[in-house]
Amino acid sequence: MRHLAEVVQFLNEPSAFSPTSAVLPEQTAGTAELPDFSDVRGQLMAKRALEVAAAGNHNILMIGPPGSGKTMLAKRFAGILPKLTFREALEATQIHGVAGVLPPGIGVLRNRPFRSPHHTISDAGLIGGGSGSPRPGEVSLAHQGVLFLDELPEFPRGVLEQLRQPLEEGAVTLARSNGTLTFPARIMLVAAMNPCPCGFYGDSTRECRCTPGIIARYLAKVSGPLLDRIDMHIEVPAVPYKELRSKTDGVPSSEIRARVETARETQRQRGFYNAQIPASQLRTLCALDETGERTLEMAVRRMNLSARAHDRVLRVARTIADLDESNVVSTKHLAEAVQCRNLDGNYWN
């Protein structure tokens, strides 16, 4: 409204005015400043897995020795995610405003949040809470974005277990004596860890100094129920010297992001991202032929997958099919999805 007279006229006759469309102004500078995937040498399998995770909004865990590039890959992950929609931007901005961490001079967040808390964080710092009026934690500040947990087993196990509800429901509920408060927490969890305390268990070039008991206790810090809620578990091995010294640039983030946006647009037409496919529609959207059924049955038996892990494999396979612009989940899509869960048997089972 330009003046009060128009306000009065609108109140008396609303149909005389057309609604205004709120459009988030374009901003490309923020995306261009993000680290680019072309900087990463080698790690083609890890890059592919991160592309699949971004396309379907899946949680992902990377395991590998120190210096293999896990943190470098994670920091470039935000650059292949689609831009925030206007609704997503408003939701993320509200959370940051409530927490009092909105940057000065910023009216609406333009880039997806990327939160990377230290492993000494408390329950209240990660999930939310505190004395007096509860505040959003890191898991809510990462709403519509990425929560990166580096050195996952170094976090207190009790803190990690608090992630189970937000990963499953996309929200955090805090109960207090004067009422219950719910913060949104629709995040993509990206986690990284070494395979053992020294970091070289399973490395073909360096000897691991840890005993089997030490390795088992280290891995046990990440519980089975939490692993079940992480869709993809991938290995990030040390980069061979020739690949490290290669002069060939990798695929840029912009090219990967274009494929991710295409796959996500397909999912928006269905009404949800693949990581949130309802159980009632899973068999329809992820229907398998006879060969696919045998492949999945063999994977479930050999890898001792739970019912939840079975469903997550199917959701990842659906994302791989979307990246392939295929309406059908074929055996090759399913096989790639199963490969993204094979660390369950290598390390935890």
- Residue 50 belongs to a domain with what CATH number? 3.40.50.300
Whether 304 is covered by a domain: the verdict is yes
**Which SS3 state, helix, strand or coil, does residue 221 take?**
coil
Residues 236 and 318 in one domain: no
Global confidence as pTM: 0.86
Q: What residue numbers bound the domain in which 340 lies?
A: 277-348
Residues 194 and 304 in one domain: no
Splitting the chain (349 residues) into consecutive groups of 10 residues, what average pLDDT does each group show? Answer: 92 88 54 77 92 96 93 93 90 91 84 94 89 86 96 94 92 81 93 94 88 93 91 92 80 94 94 93 93 92 89 96 95 94 69
Residues 131 and 187 in one domain: yes
Phi, psi of 69 (to 5 degrees): 110, 15
Whether 24 is covered by a domain: the verdict is no
Phi-psi label, residue 179: left if phi above 0, alpha if psi -120 to 50, beta otherwise: left
| Kind plus residue range of the DSSP H or E element containing 46 | helix 44-56
**DSSP state for residue 104 in the 8-state scheme:** T
Residues 80 and 225 in one domain: yes
Whether 51 is covered by a domain: the verdict is yes
Neighbours of 242 (CB within 10 A): 9
Provide the number of structural domains found in the chain. 2
Residues 322 and 233 in one domain: no
Neighbours of 240 (CB within 10 A): 12
Residues 156 and 238 in one domain: yes
β pairing state of 114-115 and 146-149: parallel
Residues 188 and 235 in one domain: yes
Residues 170 and 306 in one domain: no
Whether 321 is covered by a domain: the verdict is yes
